[in-house]
Structure 1
Amino acid sequence: MFQLPFFRRDLPALEGKRVRLRMPEREDYEEWATLRAESRAFLEPWEPRWTPDELSAASFRHRLQRSRHDYDQGTGVSFFLFEKAEGRLAGGLSLSNIRHGVAQSANIGYWMGERYAGHGLMLEALQLVIPFAFDRLRLHRLEAACIPSNARSMRLLEKAGFQREGLLRSYLRINGVWQDHHLYALIAGEHQQPSRRG
């Protein structure tokens, strides 16, 4: 079994000028549930269909267990994004499907609470996670998939240095419907000069 190249007790935390990233904890439940609930209409078009118990404490515990399992197995790292000024949860992002060997790649995904969207917080978070993925996890390639109508997400990826590589037809089932996605990718070494726009 492959282990991530840092000690299990050394849970990753990343800090920028305006954002702080750390792995989710059980104590985050109420803040997470509140932010997700108030942002539901904003998030649903871009996510898998929400289950009836989507925001329950049991569902959150299951997410936490899966996140820690993926971390222990070296297949994923999940972060909650906190804005530093008030210390409040603003969103989340994750590295999933981490592959080593000949691939050395991972998928990156993210979500943002509606009230925090459009303020550049996720761009700063990506600019923290990208070097973490390439330098600390020693990956070579990051991939992100984006629904063609999600102009905000496409702008974000392009500002972070990702390049569009093609169209993945009927790629993911989002909000109950199989959706085409644009494939974006960033290669190690391309992240040295991140865009400062936005």
Structure 2
Amino acid sequence: MVHVWPLTLRDEELVLRPLRRRDRFVHEGLRARNHEWLRPWDATDPTRPGRPPGFTALRRWSESQARQGLAVPLVITVDGRMLGQITAGPLQYGALRTAVLGYWIDEGAAGRGLVPRAAALLMDHLFVEMGMHRVEMTVRPENTASLRVVEKLHLREEGLRRGAIHVDGAWRDHLVFAMTAEEAGEIGEEHDPRGGKGILARLHREHPPHVRRLA
């Protein structure tokens, strides 16, 4: 069980990979175009209101965290086109062995099942390759799209954390959803024709994609 970086994970046309220097123009364009779409769900720094980190700072921080084994920050691409990001972090070791998942996706790509696939792909890696014992996601109760994601992944609801995360300029309540390695193990190691296993294989069986390619 080891952390490997840089890391690339694949499920057919869906590829998760590290953020690169040459991604700057596309990344900045995605964030600008999706500002209003993402604003209600983006974490914010209460000490630096209205000042999100720029691309260079974000990439350097992500790379540093990844090389230290503190996070697995990846961009979501489809047919080579960047559409969002997914990050497992912070990663906690020792007696906890826990990872927290967070993500964002381009509005035009939402509702196509990409986020559940990306999350399932990363969760299989965290459990099988990195030996994590627990993966959790926190979701604002108002975020119906993310509630659908955790439902598709069969994450177990654990309750409400009051004022858990500073989001969109204020401390917001979040529902907590989680899965343990024992729960993931009950899914089994069955492989499907698309190459998925465990959580991803179950997602493929229960929610087979009708159209893989983006227009």
Would you say same fold, with TM above 0.5?
Answer: yes
Q: Cα deviations across residues 172-196 of structure 1 (Å, max 9, x unaligned)?
A: 1100011100000011143335333
SS in 2 for 1:148: coil
Give 1:5's aligned amino acid: V
Q: What is the distance in 1 between the residues matched to 2:162 and 2:4?
A: 39
| Counterpart contact for 1:164–1:183, Cα < 8 Å | yes
Q: What is the distance in 2 between the residues matched to 1:29 and 1:180?
A: 32
Match of 1:62 among 51, 57, 63: 57
The alignment status of 1:129 with 2:122, answered yes or no, reads yes
Q: What is the distance in 1 between the residues matched to 2:51 and 2:42?
A: 15
TM-score normalized by the length of structure 1: 0.88
* RMSD (Å) for aligned C-alpha atoms: 1.9
The alignment status of 1:97 with 2:116, answered yes or no, reads no
Question: How far did residue 48 of structure 1 move?
Answer: 2.4
Q: What is the distance in 1 between the residues matched to 2:51 and 2:171?
A: 22
The alignment status of 1:139 with 2:136, answered yes or no, reads no
Question: How far did residue 161 of structure 1 move?
Answer: 2.1
Give 1:106's aligned amino acid: A
Q: Cα deviations across residues 90-128 of structure 1 (Å, max 9, x unaligned)?
A: 110001110111101011000001111111111111121
Q: What residue in structure 1 maps to residue 2 of structure 2?
A: 5
TM-score normalized by the length of structure 2: 0.82
Match of 1:35 among 12, 27, 30: 30
Q: What residue in structure 1 maps to residue 177 of structure 2?
A: 184
Give 1:173's aligned amino acid: H
Question: How far did residue 54 of structure 1 move?
Answer: 4.1
| Counterpart contact for 1:168–1:183, Cα < 8 Å | yes
SS in 2 for 1:190: helix
Question: How far did residue 7 of structure 1 move?
Answer: 5.1
Q: Structure 1 unaligned segments of length 5 or more: list them.
A: none
Q: Structure 2 unaligned segments of length 5 or more: list them.
A: 185-197, 210-215
The aligned length equals: 188
Give 2:183's aligned amino acid: E
Cα gap change, 1:181 to 1:6, in 2 (>3 Å): closer
| Counterpart contact for 1:140–1:187, Cα < 8 Å | yes
Q: What is the distance in 2 between the residues matched to 1:139 and 1:6?
A: 11
Q: What is the distance in 2 between the residues matched to 1:34 and 1:12?
A: 24
Match of 1:19 among 8, 14, 31: 14
Q: What stretches of structure 1 move > 2 A for 4+ residues in a row?
A: 48-55, 189-198
Q: What is the distance in 1 between the residues matched to 2:182 and 2:44?
A: 36
Q: What residue in structure 1 maps to residue 101 of structure 2?
A: 108
Q: What residue in structure 2 maps to residue 81 of structure 1?
A: 76
